[in-house]
Structure 1
Amino acid sequence: MTEKKTVLVTGVGRTAGIGAAVVRRLAEQGWATAATYWHPYDDRMPWGSDDGAKDADLAIEADLSDPEAPARIFDRVESTLGKVTALVMCHCESVDSSILTTSVESFDLHFAVNARATWLLIKEYGTRHAVPFGEGRIIAFTSDHTVHNLPYGASKGALDRITLAAAREFAEMGITANVVNPGPNDTGWMDEALKKHIVESTPLGRLGVPKDSADLVAFLCSPEGGWINGQLLKSDGGISG
């Protein structure tokens, strides 16, 4: 067992993603890092997959549409690295479709991965929590994009409510729970025209990058970030303002 604090980061399927940036940033701060990934998701998306979890101390392939997966993930992490101090959820199902074109199967899969798995991961974390009062952290990544992205946005809205409920329900354990909306991040999915539009629409005049989100997560996981709780934080360079 390591004496380091352990963070579990979900959705670390690509080196260019936010999850991988979070793993690298917290490792720099001395955390033991566990990461989950699910290559079949990235493989069917335009960007494809790579070894995004390569920098983690422990990498776990897990299909979060399986309701048994969260318990198996926590079993692996606890047996290898010890109790989880921080849970950072970057996983998602995200396939563009509108009100008229979304299928029932796609809708259900989005809610299974983005909402149900978030609940079950938080439930496992709370059930097994055994770190000192005030050190526990839950952070989930969300989005407010719903137009022509209906099941993604709707399920992320459910993720928000589930995560923020933990700020109250886990209060006696001293766990903070926050949601981060990173806005559009340059992780390889934008074409040049969209990049130009986003830069022009952002007051700070640049694209958001995964390191921006990772820096915020590192602060929230630090002792200095312990007073921020029950919040939906926008870390998007002002594009939503």
Structure 2
Amino acid sequence: MAKIAIITGVSYPRSIGTAVCRRLAEQGMDIFFTYWRAGETWPDQLMNEITETGVRCKGLEVDLEQSEAAEAILQEVQQQLGVPAVLINCAAFSENGNYTELDAVQLDRHYAVNMRSVFLLCTGFARLFKEKKTDSNGSIVNLTSGQSQGPMPDELAYIATKGAITAFTQSLAADLASLGINVNAVNPGPTDSTWMTGDIRQHLLPKFPKGRIGEPDDAARLISFLVGEDGYWVTGQEIHSEGGFIRK
């Protein structure tokens, strides 16, 4: 029976989450993805594309700022497809702000999406996996943003909440190892997905010694390895997959 994978943050065609959906579908996994404020036709387009590969695919629009979001996702995936064995937390909230602009509202919005929903999805997924355990192994991958690699000026709320994901991932991996679940974090580095402008690309390109900026599929290939059989022995790691990105 095919493994079922949850992937959050699949709101745009060029997102990392979308690339992950495609890669895991190629591995024969059934796909359950979440999105927020996507175009009217995009979710159906992706569901049709994934279904044509021969696996099942369902999507759910959900606001990860809401406290009940994680529970709603886990309930819906069971109703639509079954018990998940893979969880990929790609969704994130990011809003620039330096120390003069940091306030409770900005912190709370980042916390709700980048920490609370991620943490509740991880722990809810693990409890469900333990309760319904089969012979298959489980995997969790949380996306980080290289906040441990150097300063990220004017992104205080973002880097603080993303940094918490790294610490959470390392400790959760130890807790879940006995359940057969590996837990890792992936830092994809600057990725030309949904946020880069021409000016940003021109600024970043010289910092990539491989001669190109990271693409969503670069992260997706690594994630597909970590959740596959060949990556099972890797757990509790934050893997920096940045193509040699030079932080100067």
Query: TM-score, structure 2 length as denominator?
Result: 0.88
Amino acid at match of 2:144: T
Answer yes or no: is the 8 Å Cα contact 1:35–1:53 preserved in 2: no
**Superposition misfits of 4+ residues, deviation over 6 angstroms:** none
Aligned residue number for residue 232 of structure 2: 226
Distance 1:87 1:172 in 2: 17
Larger deviation, residues 51-60 vs 135-144: 51-60
Cα pair distance change 1:153/1:131, threshold 3 Å: same
Q: Point out where structure 2 has 5 or more consecutive residues left out of the alignment.
A: 48-56
Which whole-Å deviations, capped at 9, do the CAs of 1:204-224 have from their partners, x for residues lacking one? Answer: 111100000111111111100
Cα pair distance change 1:224/1:53, threshold 3 Å: farther
Aligned residue number for residue 19 of structure 1: 17
1:136 maps onto 2:138 in alignment: yes
Which whole-Å deviations, capped at 9, do the CAs of 1:157-209 have from their partners, x for residues lacking one? Answer: 11111222211011210110000000000013222232122221112111100
Distance 2:6 2:212 in 1: 30
Amino acid at match of 1:104: A
Distance 2:214 2:194 in 1: 12
Q: Point out where structure 1 has 5 or more consecutive residues left out of the alignment.
A: 43-47
Distance 1:232 1:112 in 2: 22
Task: Note the aligned Cα RMSD (angstroms).
Answer: 1.8
1:55 maps onto 2:43 in alignment: no
Aligned residue number for residue 122 of structure 2: 122
Aligned residue number for residue 159 of structure 1: 165
Distance 1:154 1:22 in 2: 25
Larger deviation, residues 84-93 vs 56-65: 56-65
Query: TM-score, structure 1 length as denominator?
Result: 0.90
Which whole-Å deviations, capped at 9, do the CAs of 1:123-173 have from their partners, x for residues lacking one? Answer: 110110034466100001011353111111110011111222211011210
1:186 maps onto 2:185 in alignment: no
Aligned-residue identity in percent:
35
Number of corresponding residues: 232
Distance 1:60 1:134 in 2: 25
Amino acid at match of 1:144: G
Distance 1:95 1:190 in 2: 14
1:103 maps onto 2:103 in alignment: yes
